[in-house]
């Protein structure tokens, strides 16, 4: 990805929600829990900050394009759960932030 602004979000999504994540993890939630268990609070904070920063410049289909084409995410919450990418990312952010407190 050319934009280094979202490098931590890219590392998170491409590492835990890659094309074979369904073979590695039982669910998206278990992938997120693996990230939480395997990362330190400062990494978690950088990831959640960048994921939240995506909401400013990108909405709707633009957000989908960035997440799925530029940030390496293969999990499609709309297809699997019928929710928007933003709603799913908000859940991910909440779960990570709740794990720290």
Range of the domain at 93: 4-100
pLDDT value at residue 4: 79
Confidence bin at 101 (pLDDT 50/70/90): low
What digits encode the pLDDT tens for the residues 21-63? Answer: 989 999 999 999 999 999 999 999 999 999 999 999 999 999 9
Q: DSSP for 6-67? A: GHHHHHHHHHHSSTTHHHH-SSHHHHHHHHHHHS-HHHHHHHHHHHHHHTTT--HHHHHHII
Which is it for the CA torsion 9, 66, 56, 90, positive or negative?
negative
pLDDT value at residue 5: 86
pLDDT value at residue 2: 46
Total count of domains within the chain: 1
Predicted structure pTM score: 0.91
């Amino acid at each position: 990805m050319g934009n280094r602004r979202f490098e931590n979000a890219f590392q998170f999504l491409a590492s835990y929600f890659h094309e074979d994540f369904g073979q590695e993890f039982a669910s998206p939630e278990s992938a997120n829990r693996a990230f939480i268990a395997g990362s330190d609070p400062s990494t978690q904070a950088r990831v959640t900050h960048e994921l939240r920063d995506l909401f400013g410049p990108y909405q709707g289909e633009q957000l989908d394009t960035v997440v799925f084409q530029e940030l390496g995410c293969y999990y499609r919450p709309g297809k699997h759960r019928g929710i928007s990418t933003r709603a799913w990312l908000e859940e991910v952010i909440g779960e990570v932030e709740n794990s720290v407190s």
